[in-house]
Amino acid sequence: MSEITSSVLIRPAGAGRWFAVLGNLTHRLGLSAVGLILPLAVLGLWQYAVNHEWVAIQLLPPPELVWQSLRELWDAGDLTRNLAVSLTRIGWSVLIGSSIGWLLGFLMGLSRTARDFLYPSFEVFTQFPVVGWIPILIIFLGIDEGLKIAAISIAVVVPVTVATFKGIVNIPSALLEVAKVYRFSHSQVLLRVVLPAALPALFSGFRQGIMQAWLALVFVELLASSEGIGYLMVWGRQLMQLDLVFVGLLVIGLVGVALDVSLRYLESRLQSWRHAAH
C-alpha cells in the first residue's frame, strides 16, 4: 500500500510538469489554428472569385499563378536580389535613424536644458509624415539611394526618440537617489543606473523603429526606385502582370511578420532577463 501510494504521489509531480508543457503547446497551436481561419477564408474566396470570373484575370490573378511566379522569381534570383537590396536599405536606415533617436532621447531625458531647447521642435517634427519630407529630400538628395535611406531614417527617428525619452524620464527616482548616496560619477550613473533601467524602453523603441522602417521602405520604393521589393511591384503593374504585385505583397507581409516575431521574442527574453536580475 505504501509503495503504491508513494509511486502515485511522486509520479504526478514530474508528470504534471510535462502535462503543463503539453497543455501550453496545445493551447498555442490552437490559437495559431484559429489565426489561420481568416487567411484561409480569404484564400478560398479568392479562388472562388477566380473560378466564377467575378473579376477579370488580368486584375485578379489566380492563387496558383501567384505561387508559380513566386517560385520562378526565387529560382531566377530576382526575388532574393531585390529583397537583399530592400533589407540593406533597412539596415542602413535603422542604424542611422536609431543612432539619431537614441542621441536625442538621451539628451532630452538627461538634460532639462536640452529638453526645453529640443522638445518643442521635435514635437513639430513628429507631425510630418514621411511623404511630407519627400519633396524637400528630392531637392537636396535627388532620387538616388540617399533619398531612400534618408526618408526611411526619418521614419525610424521618431519612435526611437520617444521611447528612449520616456524610458529615461520614467526611471524610478529611488535608483537615482541610491546613485547619489554612493557618489556615482556621471558616467557611472549613465552606465550602471540609467542604461539598465531604460534598456527595455530602448529596445521597444528600436523594435517600433524597425517596423516603421519596413512600412516606409515599401512607400519609398514604390515612389522612386530601380531595385527592391517595391520596385518589383511597380514593374509588375507597368507590365500589367499583377501576379508580380501579389508576390510583392506576399513577401512584404511575410518578412514584416518574421521581423516582428523575432523582435518580440528578443524583447520577451530581455524582459525575462531583467526580472531574473532583480
How confident is the chain (278 residues) per 10-residue block, as mean pLDDT? 43 49 53 70 84 80 90 91 92 95 92 90 88 87 87 94 91 78 77 83 91 88 82 86 90 89 81 56
Number of domains in the chain: 2
Same-domain check for residues 98 and 226: yes
Same-domain check for residues 28 and 103: no
Q: What is the pLDDT of residue 230?
A: 87
**For residue 255, what are the contacts with CB-CB under 8 A and spacing of at least 6?**
83, 87, 214
Same-domain check for residues 155 and 245: yes
Q: What is the pLDDT of residue 46?
A: 83
pLDDT single digits (tens) 66-109: 999 999 999 999 999 999 999 999 999 999 999 999 999 999 98
Query: Does residue 102 lie within any of the structural domains?
Result: yes
Q: What is the pLDDT of residue 161?
A: 95
Model's pTM, two decimal places? Answer: 0.76
Query: Does residue 49 lie within any of the structural domains?
Result: no
Query: Does residue 265 lie within any of the structural domains?
Result: yes
CATH of the domain at 256: 1.10.3720.10
Query: Does residue 119 lie within any of the structural domains?
Result: yes
Listed in sequence order, the DSSP H helices in the chain are 2-35, 37-51, 63-76, 78-110, 112-125, 130-141, 145-169, 173-181, 186-189, 195-223, 229-238, 242-277
Same-domain check for residues 127 and 178: yes
Same-domain check for residues 102 and 236: yes
Identify the three-state secondary structure at position 36. Answer: coil
Q: What is the pLDDT of residue 5?
A: 43
Calpha distance 65→77 (Å, rounded) = 18
Same-domain check for residues 14 and 137: no
Query: Does residue 62 lie within any of the structural domains?
Result: no
Same-domain check for residues 11 and 142: no
Same-domain check for residues 13 and 116: no
Range of the domain at 229: 77-277
Q: What is the pLDDT of residue 87?
A: 92
Same-domain check for residues 141 and 27: no
Query: Does residue 93 lie within any of the structural domains?
Result: yes
Q: What is the pLDDT of residue 277?
A: 46
Same-domain check for residues 204 and 119: yes
**Helices 78-110 and 145-169: crossing angle, nearest 10°?**
40
Judge whether 224 and 179 are in contact, CB under 8 Å: no
Provide the Cα torsion 152, 153, 158, 163; round to 10°: 110
Same-domain check for residues 215 and 271: yes
| Residue 274, C-alpha cell as written in the block | 531583467
Query: Does residue 57 lie within any of the structural domains?
Result: no
Q: What is the pLDDT of residue 173?
A: 79
